[in-house]
């Protein structure tokens, strides 16, 4: 080693070499002594020279900025707030920083930029693409971009409401976009027809992009005078069209015809019926006044001799069973009276008005008594207790000899005897045995003043004075 040193010195100025003692070697900055020989330090280290025996590596947080061991290591740079550590500081390289990325159009920050530091790598901003609404969707919350230090948020999307059965779209779904909030569909319930209504237009559902329409209903028509219903109003529903009431004009009677049954109007919920028109019929044995109107069948004014006009003037009968003048009891009001029998055609009540009219048309009047007395005492007028009394026998003979030969369907239970000035006292089969004189069972029941005003009988016997 010493010989080597001699060789080096031989190349120097002899005087200088001779002046430096071997144990007094001092190196320049950037060098260090190895066996009294100055050796160059590697880049990334530092030596002040002199009698330094080693090169000192740059401390953590410093680096050799000029690759010269003769200069001290300087501090590593720190990345700014808007930067992140892209490369760590090393002996020969300063810290490498990258700029934190900011979100561009249509982007949002899903992960913030991490700065990092000595011994720790940073991370750039993580971006996501803002979602757009797909078919049948709308934006409920717009995309929030955020920034390098603040997390944003993706677009929030909801499904457009679809109308269910019995619903329709009243407002369409507005999709919006990642920057603009949209709007959901508005749905309403289809209306159903109310009472007395029918559907003219069904409910149109529509869809999320097309407005529908509600059910349209109208009021069912009712028949007016002179018309009748042939088909009722059909309501329909929100999904099926109904139909209005069908009406036609009632038929009218022409000359020679009359209305046998009037036109029945019906209503929107029930069918009616047309007028029943029949030809006018003749009346046998009518002498004068035969007439037929569109409102009623033929009536007669006067029958031929030997025939009597029915109460409704529609029939000339071969006599009305009549007797008189006779005594119909012991009272003065029932002396010299006339008794008539009339077939009313059906069970009807007797009235004072009808009684008075019947007697009046024959020039007679009503006896002014509640009921006749038979001269035998008690109520034995027509019951089996009075079989020997004159009045009982007169009534019995009249019924069997005058009435039954003409009115074969007359019985004790279907005749009403109008012989009083009070409807309540008209005689009828009111109690057991009360009409024995007219073929009824035996008994002592009363026939008069026993609700005669409500008794409905087919055959009416009139006692006129």
Give the domain range for residue 243: 190-251+264-272
Residues with Cβ within 8 Å of 373's Cβ and at least 6 positions away in sequence, in order, are: 329, 330, 331, 381
Give residue-wise pLDDT tens across range 93-143.
Answer: 999 999 999 999 999 999 999 999 888 999 999 999 999 999 999 999 999
Task: State whether 11 and 100 are in the same domain.
Answer: no
pLDDT at res. 313: 81
Give the residue among 311, 412, 398, 404 at the shortest CA–CA distance from 359: 311
Q: Which of 49, 75, 101 is the last residue of a domain?
A: 75
pLDDT at res. 305: 57
Task: State whether 364 and 423 are in the same domain.
Answer: yes
Give residue-wise pLDDT tens across range 428-464.
Answer: 999 999 999 999 999 999 999 999 999 999 999 999 9
Give residue-wise pLDDT tens across range 142-183.
Answer: 999 999 999 999 999 999 999 999 999 999 999 999 999 999
Task: State whether 132 and 231 are in the same domain.
Answer: no
Task: State whether 156 and 180 are in the same domain.
Answer: yes
Classify residue 443: in a domain, yes or no. yes
| Cα 287 from chain centroid (whole Å) | 68
Classify residue 295: in a domain, yes or no. no
Give the residue among 112, 109, 172, 173 at the shortest CA–CA distance from 144: 109
What are the distances in angstroms from CA 227 to CA 162, 223, 249, 254, 391?
Answer: 47, 6, 4, 17, 58
Query: What distance in Å separates the CA atoms of residue 321 and residue 341, rounded to the nearest whole number?
Result: 5
Residue 205 has, within 13 A of its CA and on its CB side, a CA count of 11
Q: Which two tokens stand for residue 134?
A: 């797909």
Task: State whether 174 and 238 are in the same domain.
Answer: no
Classify residue 138: in a domain, yes or no. yes
Classify residue 312: in a domain, yes or no. no
Classify residue 294: in a domain, yes or no. no
Classify residue 293: in a domain, yes or no. no
pLDDT at res. 123: 96
What are the distances in angstroms from CA 119 to CA 87, 98, 148?
Answer: 10, 16, 22
What are the distances in angstroms from CA 415 to CA 58, 115, 155, 199, 316?
Answer: 147, 125, 99, 58, 21
Task: State whether 351 and 437 are in the same domain.
Answer: yes
Q: Which of 167, 188, 209 is the last residue of a domain?
A: 188
Task: State whether 367 and 439 are in the same domain.
Answer: yes
Query: What distance in Å separates the CA atoms of residue 234 and residue 450, rounded to the nearest whole number?
Result: 54
Task: State whether 409 and 334 are in the same domain.
Answer: yes
Query: What distance in Å separates the CA atoms of residue 81 and residue 92, rounded to the nearest whole number?
Result: 24
Task: State whether 140 and 164 are in the same domain.
Answer: yes
* Look-up of token digits 């209503």: 267
Classify residue 178: in a domain, yes or no. yes
pLDDT at res. 107: 98
pLDDT < 50 regions, the chain: 1-21
pLDDT at res. 319: 67
Query: What distance in Å separates the CA atoms of residue 398 and residue 391, rounded to the nearest whole number?
Result: 11
Task: State whether 230 and 325 are in the same domain.
Answer: no
Residue 333 burial (C-beta neighbours within 10 Å; 0-12, 13-18, 19+): middle
Number of independent structural domains in the chain? 4
Task: State whether 422 and 327 are in the same domain.
Answer: yes
The runs of H, that is alpha helices, within 176-243 are none
DSSP state of 164: -
Task: State whether 334 and 373 are in the same domain.
Answer: yes
- Strands in 78-196 per DSSP E: 83-87, 96-99, 107-111, 126-129, 137-141, 156-159, 167-171, 186-189
Classify residue 280: in a domain, yes or no. no
Query: Cα Rg for the chain, rounded, in angstroms?
Result: 66
Output the CA torsion sign for 261, 262, 263, 265.
negative
């Amino acid at each position: 080693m010493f010989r080597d040193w001699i060789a080096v010195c031989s190349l120097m100025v002899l005087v200088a070499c001779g002046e430096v003692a071997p144990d007094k070697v001092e190196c320049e900055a950037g060098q260090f002594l190895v066996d009294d020989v100055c050796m160059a330090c590697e880049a990334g280290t530092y030596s002040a020279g002199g009698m330094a025996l080693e090169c000192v590596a740059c401390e953590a947080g410093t680096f050799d900025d000029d690759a010269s061991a003769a200069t001290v290591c300087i501090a590593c740079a720190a990345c700014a707030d808007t930067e992140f550590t892209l490369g760590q500081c090393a002996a020969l390289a300063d810290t490498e920083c990258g700029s934190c990325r900011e979100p561009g159009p249509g982007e949002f920050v899903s992960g913030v930029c991490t700065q990092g530091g000595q011994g720790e790598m940073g991370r750039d901003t993580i971006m996501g693409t803002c979602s757009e609404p797909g078919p049948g969707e709308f934006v409920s919350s717009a995309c929030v971009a955020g920034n390098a230090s603040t997390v944003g948020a993706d677009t929030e999307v909801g499904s457009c409401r679809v109308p269910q059965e019995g619903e329709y779209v009243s407002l369409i779904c507005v999709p919006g976009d990642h920057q603009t909030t949209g709007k959901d569909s508005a749905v309403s319930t289809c209306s159903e027809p109310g009472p007395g209504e029918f559907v003219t237009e069904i409910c149109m559902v529509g869809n999320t992009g097309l407005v529908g329409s509600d059910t349209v209903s109208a009021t069912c028509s009712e028949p007016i005078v002179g018309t009748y219903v042939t088909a009722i109003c059909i309501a329909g529903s929100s999904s099926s069209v109904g139909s209005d009431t069908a009406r036609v004009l009632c038929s009218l009677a022409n000359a020679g015809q009359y209305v046998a049954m009037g036109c029945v109007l019906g209503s929107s919920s029930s069918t009616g019926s047309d007028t029943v028109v029949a030809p006018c019929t003749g009346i046998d044995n009518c002498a004068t006044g035969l007439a037929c109107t569109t409102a009623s069948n033929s009536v007669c004014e006067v029958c031929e001799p030997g025939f009597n006009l029915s109460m409704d003037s529609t029939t000339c009968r071969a006599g009305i069973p009549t007797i008189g003048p006779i005594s119909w009891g012991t009272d003065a009001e029932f002396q010299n009276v006339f008794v008539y029998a009339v077939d009313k055609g059906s069970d009807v009540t007797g009235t004072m008005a009808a009684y008075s009219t019947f007697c009046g048309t024959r020039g007679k009047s009503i006896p002014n008594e509640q009921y006749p007395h038979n001269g035998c005492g008690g109520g034995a007028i027509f019951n089996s207790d009075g079989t020997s009394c004159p009045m009982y026998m007169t009534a019995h003979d009249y019924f069997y000899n005058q009435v039954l030969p003409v009115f074969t369907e007359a019985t004790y239970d279907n005749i009403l005897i109008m012989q009083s000035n009070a409807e309540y006292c008209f005689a009828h089969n009111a109690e057991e045995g009360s009409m024995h004189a007219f073929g009824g069972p035996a008994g002592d029941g009363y026939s008069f003043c026993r609700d005669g005003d409500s008794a409905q009988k087919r055959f009416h016997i009139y006692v006129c004075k």
